[in-house]
Chains A and B, each alone.
Chain A
């Protein structure tokens, strides 16, 4: 049918099918700012304005939109400088989103901006609550909504004609002040709009390390280097590529938790017009591999096959289809005849290793790793003893034992997994994929596809969030097999349901703690046993659960003699079940561990009538001490001793307590009960406050390697090519800042490109909190080599005998006597004039250490003791992440991480029925936090200067996941006196615990 759509003021006649939704049609017309997030409109990534109101294009038929005015982000604004053509530039909202750091992955940004624009068109003076309501239809998994709200308020002010000076636009050095001998940044008066919870603060509080004082670019809130394109909704993501003859892939998923395929007949599907290929296990090579995107050799069993004659979870792969349209592909799936022999399933991790349990991996070509034993459904086993644990228990005055449980949860990145594959003109297979690990994809896919590594090129475009979910080489093989089968480009994009049933998720665990403590609070021995459910495959089985102990059990070493020689035991069994496979998820096993450890510490402190914070700090790991696990375990590789060089945990506690008003609230019964009653009755509502101390790691020592190359251009600008993968974290920006700092140029002179396995140096990718630290050090090395070449040439041009006296600053090379040449002059000299050479260098780095960041995380809650309903009112995180390269991007990481962790605390949970079928398959049932229901979030950075890094950095990305859930549960304990040991902390659990408490 032919319809006319009025898009951005232009009427377009379009031929559509009745079934076509507006999202599909807009994207086919080139409006790529409108994104797919889910089928129900709940992510809001598909937002357009229809007659001025935000609506979801993905749940509206294109035909419904005829006769209405459609607006997309493409019409808002553009780069102001288009060569000889100047434009009006970006819309004030786009500028505000860039300036405030509201853009992280950028996938939801056009939608948020449109929703905000609709608000401001009607209400130029919105309150913070009104802004939150206006953008509540657009889910963001990266930001925690703090900065988008700030952006809208800022944009509103700008649109009202209010002006800001340059210092206000982007927080700079001028705002740093001195307090108690420390340099502080706290711009609480910088941009006050209405006094709401987020509107008054653009930057986080920052306790600055003195070593950073000479820096010009490192430490500054530079706007993200990719923000301008993301604010415009440019076609920067994997699915935004359109190719002639593109086929659409779909996968037939198993309806059974455990079954053997007795018969599969794809003839009818293949005969359907428009179907280009149907692949079953009979059609492709059988190659065992692991989907875990990790370095060679993979530290886990090889127990995956692209297609197999056995299915091991509901959602497992049965067949692949490629067709001319998604609808034909979907129809073809229904024509594939499959006869299953249903097998008994393991749906409870506690049953997995029992004698007689069904064996999930009975295939003969299973490849073991370490202690994996498929005959017992054992994917991995860990046995770590540090010191003499039994002696420690014997010396204790009290032994505390308890069991804890954590659920399976989903990364829920708004951009689903998506990949495009095609043969290039050289018959090399190009894989354009939304991945955190492009180089691992290339290496790991090669044997699966029967291609040498050199005939595969992996391109990582912008990534719409990953959080570990895209550390999996999850769907690249599907599209690639179909491209090989058909010779045509293939796109495969997960539906939201597939994300829930056929992607990876956080390992659920049952954790048993046993702790010996003396009466004065000294921990004498600490033991954890973790039973971990890896699901149907063992990817990340060893390493995720290893980190559960390696990080969470490392924090409390004991005091006195025990501090010198801690007694720690960490045992784990990671078992196969017929649930969807677990995998990497931000935090990588550590949030599970800290749920148990921090709940346990709280209970011990209260049982012994000790101050919970003093008890923790008394036993916590300190600078100068050996990381207790460093000699015991290193992700399946040889462990080497590592000393903690920096640890500002005590200052984090001090800062966090002040931000929370801890001393006024903790133990204050009047504060706890100070709630107004409804209807004159005594109120059942009580307040509570809780804390959790946490640590993480920074990269994997002696393993994670990042590379960078820097090339000087004619105008003195530089191409920075990195294999590192910015999945919305801002790593491209902070790496550019480091290069700019070394080269003495503004960040805008660093042109960042990441990543393409053909062009950029190797990098392991974005995981293990490694990018700023490892890839950053590689960038610094490359920049230093380039700087040396520049200085040598400048010395020659300036007749300066010692090039080492030259310094680079302000786009110039400056001699000690003040004479200078510009970098442009040096570039022209080197490229065109004398002793011509390309000034260029490659740097790479791997680290012998993994310096842990430390943090104190606080929560304030309100609990309705009559119903058990808990409302989280405030979260504070004071974190020692070393030097903060960019306080805006770093605080965005913290805010977003806290928000994800808040979901882990109170609402996120993947559950399965008795047949192993996922109950949560969309964002109706799997709720993630919206802008209009967020607690107040506050981030405080307490800088230390980590000596192992040239700019003193440690990691920031994962640690916010670790402490929110136990802090919330500890706050609930503070409010109403009950302990919830299995998260999430839900109303019925609290209500039942309260009833139990009443009964005694």
Chain B
């Protein structure tokens, strides 16, 4: 049960509230995932007054504040059609008007289309506050600096429980000079994906292949200098991705098909 609501007007104040060992305090973006929080008593820090709602193009990069709403991103002319399609697939309009980019990524499970495409784009998150993670090779060390440190989405998804307590995501950056394709299979056009694939290609030939539809988070199947081997990597990556929704055999084969289709685009 939520016992207190805070709406700080500075990052420092927000971090101070979040850094308290007790009571348990969590950042509040749009609130669309709040119903899933199962903690007994906790406080929330609403981030809406921190000025984190801007979308900025910086050269070949798009920087979005953590509080940018999904629908604001959909309406931005700066993003690709594939990213727009994945965001629309993520949630219906009402929820997109509330859900924030950072909150959606933090709460994402394996069936999140938005997390899948952002992972393919190798999104970088700026993290402030919190404690350094236990694993030394994960992120830059200066986690407590005012500027924050860059953490890749891949790292964050793996280490959410380690990285996020007491911390705040302030910005998310994605490259703009990257081609992106998103394909999925679902029971209906708007249903959550049974399996989905996002493939990002850099001008250098670098290719990142991400699969979704299964597990706790989307899975990076390949990050290679060229697209070569992408289908095989996808098939292998989902070779054990079976659950009550789909068999591993199906997901594995479909991962390869969808990746091929992404590459054909």
Contact = CB atoms under 8 A, between A and B. Distances in A.
A927 B189 CA distance: 11
Contacts of A680: 264
Interface string A507-546: 0000000000000000000000000000000000000000
Nearest to A868: B185
Chain A facing B: main interface SS: loop
A50 B35 contact: no
B187 A907 contact: yes
Contact of A927 (B98, B191, B247, B265): B191
A532 B195 CA distance: 32
B188 A678 contact: no
Nearest to A987: B185
A183 interface: no
Contact of A988 (B1, B30, B71, B250): B250
A63 interface: yes
Given A1-B5, A59-B32, A866-B257, A911 B244 contact: yes
Interface string B176-215: 0000000001111111101000000000000000000000
A61 B190 contact: no
B185 A869 contact: yes
A772 interface: no
A623 interface: no
A42 to B, nearest CB: 7
Contacts of B253: 991
B56 interface: no
Most chain A CB atoms below 10 A, which of B2, B34, B187: B187
Interface in A51-74: 53-56, 59-61, 63-64, 66
Interface stretch (A248-256, A778-786, A929-937): A929-937
A56 to B, nearest CB: 5
A39 B37 CA distance: 12
Contact of A137 (B35, B94, B187, B258): B94
A867 interface: yes
Chain B facing A: main interface SS: mixed
A2 to B, nearest CB: 12
Contact of B189 (A47, A64, A933): A933
Interface string B237-265: 00000001011001001100110010011
A605 to B, nearest CB: 28
B159 interface: no
Interface stretch (B40-48, B125-133, B146-154): B40-48
Interface string A324-352: 00010001000000000000000000000
Contacts of B96: 137
Nearest to B72: A53
B95 A41 contact: yes
A6 interface: no
Contacts of A136: 92-93, 190
B2 A61 contact: yes
Given A39-B35, A44-B92, A55-B98, A986 B244 contact: no
Nearest to A134: B93
A39 to B, nearest CB: 5
B35 to A, nearest CB: 5
A988 B95 CA distance: 29
A907 B187 CA distance: 6
B5 to A, nearest CB: 4
Interface of A: 1, 17-19, 39-42, 44, 47, 50, 53-56, 59-61, 63-64, 66, 115, 133-134, 136-138, 327, 331, 678-681, 866-869, 871, 906-907, 911, 913, 919, 924-925, 927, 929-930, 932-933, 984, 986-988, 991-992
27 contacts: A18-B2, A19-B2, A19-B3, A40-B35, A44-B92, A47-B94, A59-B34, A59-B98, A60-B31, A60-B98, A61-B28, A115-B93, A137-B93, A137-B97, A679-B264, A867-B254, A869-B185, A906-B187, A913-B244, A924-B192, A927-B188, A929-B188, A930-B92, A930-B190, A933-B190, A987-B194, A991-B250
